[in-house]
């Protein structure tokens, strides 16, 4: 009699509903945990490997040291221009070697390899030219080509996103509004080249945020740091010189180059594509 009552109690509609609710919640928890693990694994797969990240970080140390010695007017900073150029360019050379040494690990296409190497190479030429004041325009031209190479690299399978495009256009307007008046007063011949350069930087910023074949977060962060470094150069040279400008300019620039390089080692997974 007692057993029958217990059985009836367990089989009542209310208890059935209770057990079904518990099972449903347990199942939901399991599925949520499974999805979390999958998302975590996917995120880990799209991040650069520790080895490549360490190599990129070590590569930019000479450049940051250069910026520190230059920005703090250290007596250790070399006086010879050619020595400065070699010192400054060493970080970009190391980043290029990082690409060549690790491209096979992510099955990097030849097009991607050549574009990122070209972007770094022309940036390196720009670095060398900017060591000498009389080669400023030439350095600007080299960096212009470097930005175009980055824009071409990041424009693979371009997917329009409003925010990166609007942000890049805003930068063009703000930078031009601040720099152009000073250029008209001090260096009117540079107005057109600088505005053109700003437009190219804007295109790199937009493509970094709208491409789908690279790590968007790394590329976007790197592109904005690069643009910030260039903006500081223009402010310091044409608008208002400020203390430790060279230190800030070089730290932002070399960190930017490392992030831009790392972004091609972490292709962004396409939605709807089965892994």
Percent of the chain clearing pLDDT 70 (strictly above)? 80
Q: For position 252, what pLDDT does the model report?
A: 96
Token pair recorded at residue 271: 């939605």
How far is residue 37 from each of residues 28, 31, 33, 128, 164, measured CA to CA in Å? 14, 10, 6, 47, 30
> Stretch 107-111: mean pLDDT, rounded?
89
pLDDT level of residue 47 (50, 70, 90 thresholds): confident
> Stretch 110-114: mean pLDDT, rounded?
93
CA–CA gap between residue 28 and residue 58 (Å, rounded)? 45
HEC string of 215-228? CHHHHHHHHHHHHH
> Stretch 135-146: mean pLDDT, rounded?
95
pLDDT level of residue 272 (50, 70, 90 thresholds): very low
Q: For position 29, what pLDDT does the model report?
A: 54
Angle between helices 191-210 and 162-186 (to 10 degrees): 170
CA–CA gap between residue 24 and residue 19 (Å, rounded)? 9
Burial class (CB in 10 A: 0-12, 13-18, 19+), 16: exposed
pLDDT in tens, 177-215: 999 999 999 889 999 999 999 999 999 999 998 877 788
CA–CA gap between residue 182 and residue 141 (Å, rounded)? 20
Residue appearing with tokens 């007692």: 2
pLDDT tops 80 at residue 150? yes
Burial class (CB in 10 A: 0-12, 13-18, 19+), 19: exposed
pLDDT in tens, 3-29: 455 445 545 555 556 556 655 665 555
pTM: 0.79
Token pair recorded at residue 266: 């972490």
CA–CA gap between residue 259 and residue 56 (Å, rounded)? 8
Other CB atoms within a 10 A radius of the CB of residue 41 amount to 11
Q: Contact at 8 Å (CB) between 153 and 212?
A: no
pLDDT tops 60 at residue 154? yes
pLDDT tops 80 at residue 86? yes
pLDDT tops 80 at residue 30? no
How far is residue 209 from each of residues 13, 156, 166, 259, measured CA to CA in Å? 55, 12, 11, 14
Q: For position 43, what pLDDT does the model report?
A: 40
């Amino acid at each position: 009699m007692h057993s029958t009552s217990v059985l009836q109690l367990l089989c009542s509609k209310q208890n059935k509903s209770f057990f079904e609710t518990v099972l449903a919640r347990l199942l939901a928890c399991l599925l949520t945990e499974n999805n979390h693990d999958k998302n975590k694994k996917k995120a880990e797969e799209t991040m650069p490997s520790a080895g490549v990240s360490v190599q990129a970080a070590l590569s930019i140390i000479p450049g940051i040291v250069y910026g520190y010695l230059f920005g703090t007017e250290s007596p250790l900073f070399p006086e010879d221009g050619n020595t400065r150029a070699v010192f400054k360019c060493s970080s970009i050379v190391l980043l290029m070697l990082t690409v060549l040494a690790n491209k096979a690990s992510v099955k990097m296409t030849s097009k991607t390899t050549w574009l990122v190497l070209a972007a770094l190479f022309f940036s390196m030429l720009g670095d060398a030219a900017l060591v000498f004041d009389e080669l400023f325009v030439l350095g600007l031209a080299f960096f212009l080509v470097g930005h175009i190479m980055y824009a071409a690299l990041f424009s693979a399978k371009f997917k329009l996103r409003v925010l990166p495009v609007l942000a890049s256009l805003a930068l063009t307007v703000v930078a031009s509004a601040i720099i152009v008046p000073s250029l008209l007063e001090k260096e009117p011949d540079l107005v057109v080249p600088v505005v053109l350069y700003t437009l190219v930087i804007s295109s790199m910023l937009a493509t970094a945020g709208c491409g789908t074949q690279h790590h968007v977060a790394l590329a976007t962060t790197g592109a904005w740091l690069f643009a910030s470094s260039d903006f500081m150069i223009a402010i310091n040279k044409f608008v208002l010189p400020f203390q430790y400008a060279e230190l800030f300019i070089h730290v932002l620039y070399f960190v930017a180059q490392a992030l831009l390089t790392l972004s091609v080692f972490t292709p962004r997974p396409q939605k709807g594509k089965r892994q």
